[in-house]
Amino acid sequence: MPSISNKPDKLDSLSVDRKTLKATGLRATDQRAVILDIILQGGGHLDADEVYRRARQKHPLISLSTVYRALRSFKNHDLVEEMHFDEEHHHYEAKSNKEHHHLVCLKCGKVTEFQSSISGYIKKNVPQAKDFEIVGTEVRLTGYCPECRAKQ
Amino acid sequence: MPSISNKPDKLDSLSVDRKTLKATGLRATDQRAVILDIILQGGGHLDADEVYRRARQKHPLISLSTVYRALRSFKNHDLVEEMHFDEEHHHYEAKSNKEHHHLVCLKCGKVTEFQSSISGYIKKNVPQAKDFEIVGTEVRLTGYCPECRAKQ
DNA sequence: TTTGATGCAAAACGTTTGCACCAAG
DNA sequence: CTTGGTGCAAACGTTTTGCATCAAA
B11: confidence class by pLDDT, cuts 50, 70, 90 = low
Which are the contacts of B85, defined by CB distance < 8 A and separation ≥ 6? B45, B91, B102, B104, B111, B140
The pLDDT > 70 percentage for chain B reads: 92
Can you give the pLDDT at residue B4? Answer: 43
Comparing A36-45, A67-76, B46-55, the range with the smallest average pLDDT is: A36-45
pLDDT tens-digit map of A16-45 = 999 999 999 999 999 999 999 999 998 778
Residue A50 lies in a domain: yes
> Which pTM was predicted?
0.82
Instruction: Protein contacts on strand C: list nucleotides below 7 Å from a Cβ.
Output: 4-10, 13-18, 23-25
**Can you tell me the distance from the alpha carbon of A52 to that of A140, in angstroms, rounded to the nearest whole number?**
25
Can you give the pLDDT at residue B89? Answer: 85
**Can you tell me the distance from the alpha carbon of A115 to that of B100, in angstroms, rounded to the nearest whole number?**
21
Structural domain ending residue among the three candidates B48, B66, B94: B94
pLDDT tens-digit map of B84-143 = 877 778 899 998 878 889 998 888 888 888 998 888 888 888 888 888 988 888 888 888
Residue B135 at interface with chain A, using a CB cutoff of 8 Å: yes
Domain residue limits at A110: 101-151
CA of B23 to C1' of C14 (A): 31
Q: What is the CA radius of gyration of chain B?
A: 18
Residue of chain B nearest A139, judged by CA positions? B139
Which helix (H) or strand (E) covers residue B75, if one does? helix B64-76
Structural domain ending residue among the three candidates B94, B125, B141: B94
Asked if B142 contacts A134 with a C-beta cutoff of 8 angstroms, the reply is: yes
A134–B141: do the CB atoms touch at under 8 Å?
Answer: yes
Residue B4 lies in a domain: no
**Can you tell me the distance from the alpha carbon of B34 to that of B42, in angstroms, rounded to the nearest whole number?**
11
Residues A111, A70 within the same domain: no
Q: What is the largest CA-CA distance in chain A?
A: 60
Residue B2 lies in a domain: no
Q: Is the CB of B26 under 7 A from strand D?
A: yes
Residues A88, A105 within the same domain: no
B128–A114: do the CB atoms touch at under 8 Å?
Answer: yes
CATH of the domain at A79: 1.10.10.10
Average pLDDT, chain B: 87
Average pLDDT over residues A51-72: 96
B141–A119: do the CB atoms touch at under 8 Å?
Answer: yes
A118–B121: do the CB atoms touch at under 8 Å?
Answer: yes
Q: What is the DSSP letter of A116?
A: -
Residues A126, A71 within the same domain: no
Average pLDDT over residues A101-126: 87
Q: What is the tally of helices (H) and strands (E) in chain A? A: 7, 6
Instruction: Protein contacts on strand D: list nucleotides below 7 Å from a Cβ.
Output: 4-10, 13-18, 23-25
Q: Is the CB of A28 under 7 A from strand D?
A: yes
Count of domains observed in chain A = 2
Comparing A26-40, A48-62, A77-91, the range with the smallest average pLDDT is: A77-91
CATH of the domain at B113: 3.30.1490.190
Detail the protein residues whose CB sits closer than 7 A to any atom belonging to strand C: A 26-27, 29-32, 59, 61-63, 65-66, 69-70, 73; B 22, 27-30, 47-49, 64-65, 68-69, 72, 88-90
Residue A64 at interface with chain B, using a CB cutoff of 8 Å: no
Cross-sheet strand order for the sheet of B80-83: B46-47, B91-94, B80-83
